[in-house]
């Protein structure tokens, strides 16, 4: 196996997927992609792979759809044993490698952790994570010590109906939402 450049995990990277298990005996790996569409993760020729607290930069030789998923061949990962050593590792990219968005678009990782307030100024908690439902994305907002309660709320991410304001600079979001729900 060849030597890779490594660095410690920090908040300058974003997780895009996971290497799940070996595929075959020549070092290929199955990939679970968090991107949409799922194969857009293959647009990046280099990935940072996290195992524990260490990030390792790896070069993708080739990748493709395989059945309902994806598989990749990584430079220096030449057999099943080397691929098994990477199973369940996270795939990351530097945040600055992501495409720029327009002013009213956000990556999910930018929304996670924002404090959420109603229009009446009641703090509901912080965005824990988001998920897709098919109809629209949903934010999971968990009550914290500064919130009106400790409840977990599921709020639809609907910019024209529910989301009133997002301020990444102020670490907050205002929503059109009744605190009783």
Residue 66: which of 111, 33, 95, 106 has the closest Cα? 33
pLDDT in tens, 66-88: 999 999 999 999 999 999 999 99
Give dist(CA 70, CA 68) in Å, integer.
Answer: 7
pLDDT given for residue 10 in this prediction? 56
CATH of domain 108-175: 2.30.30.240
φ and ψ at residue 159, rounded to 5 degrees: -55, -35
**9, pLDDT greater than 80:** no
pLDDT in tens, 136-169: 899 999 999 999 999 999 999 999 899 999 999 9
CA 169 vs. chain centroid, Å, equals 20
> What is the full DSSP assignment across the chain?
-----EEE--TTEEEEEEEEEEETTTTEEEEEE-SSSGGGGGG-SEEEEEETTEEEEEEEEEEEEETTEEEEEETT--SHHHHHTTTTEEEEEEGGGSPP--TT---HHHHTT-EEEETTS-EEEEEEEEEE-SSSEEEEEE--TTSS---EEEEE--TTTTEEEEETTTTEEEE---TT-
Contact criterion met (CB below 8 Å) for 75 and 61: yes
Give dist(CA 103, CA 98) in Å, integer.
Answer: 15
Start-end of CATH 2.30.30.240 domains in the chain: 108-175
pLDDT in tens, 104-148: 888 888 899 999 999 999 999 999 998 888 888 999 999 999 999
Q: Any idea which fold 6-96 has?
A: Elongation Factor Tu (Ef-tu); domain 3 (2.40.30)
Start-end of CATH 2.40.30.60 domains in the chain: 6-96
């Amino acid at each position: 196996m060849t030597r890779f450049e490594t660095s410690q995990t920090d908040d300058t990277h974003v997780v895009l997927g996971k290497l799940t298990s070996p595929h075959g005996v020549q070092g290929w790996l199955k990939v679970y992609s968090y991107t949409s569409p799922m194969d857009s993760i293959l647009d990046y020729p280099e990935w940072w792979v996290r195992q524990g607290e260490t990030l390792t930069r790896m070069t993708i030789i080739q990748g493709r759809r395989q059945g309902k998923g994806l598989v990749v061949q990584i430079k220096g990962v030449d057999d099943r044993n080397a691929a098994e050593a990477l199973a369940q590792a996270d795939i990351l990219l530097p945040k600055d490698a992501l495409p720029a968005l327009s002013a009213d678009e956000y990556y999910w990782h930018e929304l996670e952790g924002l404090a959420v307030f109603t229009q009446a100024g009641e703090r509901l908690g912080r965005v824990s994570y988001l998920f897709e439902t098919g109809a629209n994305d949903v934010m999971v907002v968990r009550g914290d010590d500064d919130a009106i309660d400790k409840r977990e709320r599921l709020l639809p991410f609907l910019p024209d109906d529910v989301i009133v304001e997002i301020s990444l600079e102020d670490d907050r979001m205002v929503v059109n939402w009744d605190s009783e729900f």
